A and B are shown apart, each in its own frame.
Chain A
Amino acid sequence: MKNTLYAVVAATSIAAMPAANAVDFDVQITNLSNAIYFTPFLVAAHPAGNNLFVSGQPASANLQAMAEGGDISGLEADVMALGATIVTDPASGLLGPATSTTFTMNTDSTSNDRLSIVAMLLPTNDAFAGLNAVEIPTAPGTYRFDVPAYDAGTEANDELITGGGMPGTPGIPADPNGLAGTGGTGAAAADANPNVHIHRGNLGDSNATGGPSDLDSSVHRWLNPVIRVTLTVR
């Protein structure tokens, strides 16, 4: 787990500001799903007016890399440029179904009063969970956010396990629980909506060695929300 404060620059430039956004809080991310895994999360407290994605707008290249292959390095560089307070990969790898990861953040002496969290869903082509720049509460207490799955809109949801995780490469990188089939012919062509949108869910089928999808309709579907983020402000 890498827990890094990128507050040095910001602290010197806003040292005269009142510490209105000083918040010390715990974050718990729970994978609510029954059979979906999440690639390493990017968690960023950042200034208002910035978004990693916007529904109805095309995904950035860095969002696409996260959604198609779980690569958060580009988005990490984006938020570092904002002076964000970040945590990457809090679960030290994949976050499995019905499991949680908990960590602490501190935005003292920063203007990082918004929280964004993203990670890719496996096995999917380009689905990601996205908590999108919510205001970080300052009053002590426990706050819960239920987060849906979005489709980055950048890759056809063919539902074929091909190992393809590079941006622009078709297919699903992997099914970590090993319950996917083979021999699918391709469940779907390109998304009707090429912008970021709420994901329509995996389709799957009941044929482990053929059919349109390599995924199992009784295993790999989900209903929103997919993760629960619990903030405990001290």
Chain B
Amino acid sequence: MLFNPTTKVRLLAVGAVAIVAAACDNDSSVPATPATPPQPTATFEVTVTNLTNAQPLSPVAVIAHQAGYSVFDIGSPATEGLEMLAEGGDNSALIAAASGNADVIATASGAAPIGPAGSETIFFAVLESELPGLNLSTSTMLVNTNDAITGVNGFDIAELAVGESVSLRSIAYDAGTEANTEAAADIPGPAGGGEGFNAARDDLADRVAMHSGVVSQEDGKPTSDLTGQHRFDNPIAAFRIARIN
């Protein structure tokens, strides 16, 4: 199992602390010696829905950030964190690297893989003072592939008002880190049960581009262990982003 179903939803500590502070703010009693004034927070929820036929999505990485950060750029090599997510469905290294980036405001993770037709709602919070320029990125692997990912890549949510939401649909990208063998030994999802992350980079080119889809044995790739059930077309997932306070 290359992705960890026990991963907990994580709120960046500063966000969690700020929520507690905001709750105290509702208390009518006035403390005798006020501590640092509570800073108002903005809480968002991201509902991810899997639109595919037979491509479970690995636990979703959610990253709120400023313009200086991106999960990937078309034409540039994937980071090692993204490679680990794209090949094995493990988002932990991507989230850890993001958390250490000065342009990243908050991170969160989905709790479990999202099966076809399934959905999950993930929460994160930022300080209101961090809203200007705030972008949202999400990333998840199509686990019955070699290294296909999908997600929102830098969507501006700074102007989203409380109670407002926006709905997006995402397309499939190829991380460019692993050849699309479609062989069970190279596919970590239930269709393969094979290897996840491997540091070797042996794709057509070592850079992120759009995914051209899986071919499958039934559509004429004799060495593929995938079936027509595993083929997909865009869009892959729906994302509903709402600001809830």
Contacts and interface: CB of A to CB of B under 8 A. Distances in A.
B221 A206 contact: yes
Interface in A35-49: 35
Contacts of B205: 34, 97-98
Interface string B176-192: 10001010000000000
B180 A225 contact: no
B145 to A, nearest CB: 12
Interface of B is mostly: loop
B212 A223 contact: yes
A34 B210 contact: yes
Interface size of B as a range = 20 to 34
A33 B209 contact: yes
A11 interface: no
Contacts of B75: 30, 98-100
Contacts of A98: 74-75, 176, 205, 207-209
A100 B74 contact: yes
Contacts of A226: 210
A222 B174 CA distance: 11
Contacts of B212: 33-35, 219-223
Q: Which of A34, A205, A228 has its CB near the most chain B CB atoms (within 10 A)?
A: A34
A39 B20 CA distance: 57
A35 B205 CA distance: 9
A137 B201 CA distance: 41
A30 B75 CA distance: 9
Contacts of B211: 34, 223
B208 A225 contact: no
Interface size of A as a range = 20 to 34
Contacts of B94: none
A218 interface: yes
A119 B244 CA distance: 44
A217 B209 CA distance: 17
A206 B74 contact: no
Contacts of A219: 204, 212
B220 interface: yes
A232 interface: no
Contacts of A32: 74, 209-210
A224 interface: yes
A3 to B, nearest CB: 23
Interface in A78-107: 97-100
A35 B180 CA distance: 13
A206 B210 contact: no
Q: Which of A100, A217, A220 has its CB near the most chain B CB atoms (within 10 A)?
A: A217
B133 to A, nearest CB: 13
B229 interface: no
Interface of A: 30, 32-35, 97-100, 146, 204-206, 217-226, 228
Given A34-B204, A34-B212, 17 more contacts: A33-B209, A33-B212, A34-B176, A34-B205, A34-B210, A97-B209, A98-B205, A98-B207, A98-B209, A99-B75, A218-B180, A219-B204, A221-B213, A222-B210, A222-B213, A223-B234, A226-B210
Interface of B: 74-75, 171-172, 174, 176, 180, 182, 204-205, 207-213, 215, 219-223, 233-234
7 contacts: A34-B210, A34-B211, A98-B208, A100-B74, A217-B219, A223-B172, A225-B171
